[in-house]
Structure 1
Amino acid sequence: MNILTNFTTPQLEKIHQGKVRDSFRIDAKTRMIVATDRISSFDFVLKTPVPGKGAVLNSLAAFWFENTRDIIDNHFIKLLDPSISLVREAEPIRVEMIVRGYLTGSAWRGYQNGKRSVSGAPIPEGMTKNQAFPKPIVTPTTKEKNDREISPEDLVKEGWVSAELYRQMEEAALKLFERGSKMLAERGIILVDTKYEFGLIDGKLALIDEIHTPDSSRFWSKENYEADPENAEQLDKEYVRGYLLKNKKDGRYPDTLPPDVVQETTRRYREIYRMITGKTLPDVEGDVLARIRHNLVQQGIIKDSFVAIIMGSKSDLEHCNKMKAVVEKYDVYCELRVVSAHKNGEDIPRVTADYHTSIEPGAVIAVAGRSNGLGGALAANLPIPVISCPPFSGKEDIMLNVNSSLMMPSGTPAATVVDAKNAALLALRSLNLPRLRHRFDREIAELKEQLRQADSEVRGRA
């Protein structure tokens, strides 16, 4: 699969899902940010993803974070994958600092209608479309359900930031814009406008989110702009916005992109990355999920697989812990959950949501006695192996209640194993991982050898 639309794993807690990026808690000090291939425009997410887009955004932001750290500290720690970054936790400031070098986009549309300021920043009379400002202007907006332009004075008055903090943000934003403009000009690119977001780390101002990417910035070809300023070639997400505007009908934008627009968008994103960094990203035709799984496992962020043990009652915890101990001995992530098929079966989709599309392979062990509806309910709703292991109290309990686990409706493939250790081992074998197959082969060979030795000893020929 070469598209990353969602990242899910039961091993990490998702703490935020944005239009494009998803955040997962690593610990109290760090989080993992996944840049997906989702694309948004005009404040909504399109149904059509753009292959490789997330890797461009994330890797390009990492490039700029490293090349601007001397101006202001930032939250970036390291790349875990072209699409994923490890960052420090920060207290976000709910303000976007937009720096504009040229009169274009919404500022130009407002100017045509007689508007001569943006967020309190004055715009001179007599300017033309795409003309450069005498010097870059800062036009902040609030970060809320519907972002709004706001002057620095009103930001302070409404309590978004203090006057001193705003001064620091404005100073940093202008220096970052100057650095970006200079570096990009050397590569034949004009940084037209961009946005910066800041937060506090240990009480100090730091740059967060992203910087100088095709999603957060507007880029023009310098050569093209000099030849025809009003029709400069755009090297950013504006290509998608243009398609949506052109195909708007009855006041509504299309929510999907045709294959040729997707392909061209991918090409543009990858090309801007190459132009800026001088490097190329992994081929978008590769299996992005396999690549991500490998990279996260190699760096110790996740295990290569999981087994979920779901019990119908907390009273089954001792039985479940026996299986958990076996699973963890094989270096497989194991989590315990509680949900009853009969008492709160409506929660099964919520409890098992991550298992459907998890980046790593997994299996489920269902623990419920008497009338076991849990194993069947899980097997009917999950695309991964489900094994029932009821917490029988003895042989009589087995004889009375085992049929509720053995007899499943058609299309409900739940296996049943009575012994807790065997249930855990079957779950592990169902993962079909090469490293586990090799280990089980060794254990089988060791068991055979032990039996041969026992035979020799009993026979008296040891």
Structure 2
Amino acid sequence: MSQALLQTNLGDLPLTARGKVRDIYDLGSNQLLFVATDRISAFDHVLATGVTDKGRILTQLSLFWFDLLKDTVRNHLVTADAAQFPASCAPYLDQLEGRSMLVKRAEMFPVECVVRGYISGSGWKDYQQTGAVCGIKLPSGLRESDRLPQPIFTPAAKNNIGHDENISFQKMIDTIGQKPAEDLRALTINIYEKASKHAASKGLILADTKFEFGLIDGQITLADEVLTPDSSRYWPAETYNPGGAQPSFDKQFVRDYLESIHWNKQAPAPGLPPDVVEKTKAKYLEAFRLITGRANL
């Protein structure tokens, strides 16, 4: 098994951000280099062990969705062909191929655009406490994982540390303005509905997802990753059974392992045993193959 890439080292290229998964470099001319590493996080901590090829899977899935949605929304992609990257990237192709994107710099909105078609995760917790999610009143008597009467837009404020904070739509309006908020809400739901139809055709339920948008040349543009198992909750349709949590194509094996060892969810984060790494990689790969119809990365 090849080794997981936990951190890039691109010499003198200026690193502008190192997130939970992506390393971002400034290449000048309003262009950024996004590199998806094999880091994996859980409970708001990056773990000591990565998942081999996770970054490639996330990147290739994002590229698939950018292409599928290109008639629905602009995106920030310039090219994912490392051979077309600026010459300054050439010495580092071994770190870049298959897991990186050259993108246009966008002026990012400070909100996560979350859409939910089913009641799960933090939305389910909110509903149990208040009967609503982000201030949106929902029908009484819903069960965990029930399909909602219609998709709901539940934005979140971006936090640099810890969980993003669920906010009301009014708070989003107060933050970015009425028209941008309404435009982002409509676009988010439109993308979700189109993506849900594609997922359903592949035997998957897209329960919820989140998008990030920015402005490029004054136009709303889809950025970052799109509809990956890191940003979305996918369930196999054939086993869907509302009334509890559903099996999902994500890092649930990682969460389950960390709960089993009673980690206190404080730094330093532990590593993962090989079987948990392999099971997690297999889930990500299965999602990739179902969604894209491709056997290989």
Structure 2 length normalisation: TM-score?
0.88
C-alpha deviation, 1:186, in angstroms: 0.3
1:148 matches 2:165: yes
RMSD over aligned Cα, in angstroms? 1.8
* Contact in 1 for aligned 2:235/2:248 (Cα 8 Å): yes
Q: CA offset at residue 121 of structure 1?
A: 1.8
Question: Which amino acid in the other structure matches residue 236 of structure 2?
Answer: S
1:238 is the counterpart of 2:239: no
Deviation at 1:252, TM superposition (A): 5.5
CA distance in 2, matches of 1:120, 1:100: 14
Q: Does 1:200 align with 2:215?
A: yes
Query: For residues 201 and 246 of structure 2, what CA distance do their matches in structure 1 show?
Result: 18
Instruction: Write out per-residue CA displacement over residues 77-117 of structure 1, whole angstroms, 9 at most, x where no aligned residue.
Output: 221331111111111111001111111112222333x2222
Offset of residue 269 of structure 1: 0.9
Which of 146, 151, 161 is matched with 1:136 structurally?
A: 151
Deviation of the 1:242 alpha carbon: 3.0
Counterparts of residues 32-181 of structure 1 (less than 5 Å): 32-79=33-80, 80=82, 81-112=97-128, 114-145=129-160, 146=162, 147-157=164-174, 160-181=175-196
Q: Which runs of 5+ in 2 are unaligned?
A: 83-96
Change (3 A) 1:108 1:231: closer
Task: After TM superposition, give the deviation of residue 239 of structure 1 in Å.
Answer: 3.2
- Larger relative contact order (C-alpha < 8 A, sep ≥ 6)? 2
Q: Which residue of 1 aligns with 2:23?
A: 22
Query: Structure 1 48/89 Cα, relative in aligned 2: closer, same or farther at 3 Å?
Result: same
Indicate conservation of the 8 Å contact 1:101/1:133, yes or no: yes
Once the two structures are superposed, residues 415-437 of structure 1 have per-residue CA deviations (whole angstroms, 9 ceiling, x without a partner) of xxxxxxxxxxxxxxxxxxxxxxx
Q: Which residue of 2 aligns with 1:264?
A: 279
Structure 1 segments of 4 or more deviating over 4 A?
A: 249-254
Which structure has the larger Rg?
1
Once the two structures are superposed, residues 297-317 of structure 1 have per-residue CA deviations (whole angstroms, 9 ceiling, x without a partner) of xxxxxxxxxxxxxxxxxxxxx
Measure how far apart 1:250 and its partner are. Answer: 5.2
| Cα separation, 1, equivalents of 2:77 and 2:264 | 43
**CA pair 60-96 structure 1, distance change in 2 beyond 3 A:** same
Say if 1:75 and 1:207, in contact at 8 Å, map to a contact too. Answer: yes
Contact 2:120 2:245 in 1 (8 A): no
Distance 1:51 1:250 in 2: 25
Aligned to 1:309: none
Match of 1:191 in 2: 206
The Cα shift of 1:251 comes to: 6.4
Deviation at 1:246, TM superposition (A): 3.8
Partners of 2:48 and 2:13 lie apart in 1 by: 26
Do the aligned residues in 2 keep the contact of 1:55 with 1:281 (CA within 8 Å)? no
Q: Residues 427-448 of structure 1: CA distance to partner in whole angstroms, max 9, x if unpaired?
A: xxxxxxxxxxxxxxxxxxxxxx
Residue 248 of structure 1, CA deviation: 2.8
The one-letter amino acid paired with 1:56 is I
Equivalence for 2:94: none
Aligned to 1:211: 226
Q: Is the 8 A contact 1:13 1:24 kept in 2?
A: yes
Rounded to whole Å, the distance in 2 between the matches of 1:213 and 1:181 is: 13
Q: Say if 1:56 and 1:281, in contact at 8 Å, map to a contact too.
A: no
The number of equivalent residue pairs is 278
Shift of 1:237: 2.4
1:44 deviation in Å? Answer: 1.2
Deviations 1:126-160 (A, max 9, x none): 11111011011111010123521111112222xx2
Q: Partners in 2 of 1:74 and 1:271 — Cα distance?
A: 25
Deviation, structure 1 residue 229: 5.7
C-alpha distance in structure 2 between counterparts of 1:256 and 1:2, whole Å: 14
Contact 1:190/1:222, CA 8 A, preserved across alignment: yes
SS of 1:60's equivalent in the other structure is helix
Q: Any unmatched runs of 5+ in structure 1?
A: 283-462
TM-score (norm 1): 0.58
Counterpart of 1:220 in structure 2: which amino acid? W
SS in 2 for 1:230: coil
The secondary structure found in structure 1 opposite 2:179 is: helix
Note closer, same or farther for the CA distance 1:243–1:124 as it changes in structure 2 (3 Å cut).
Answer: farther
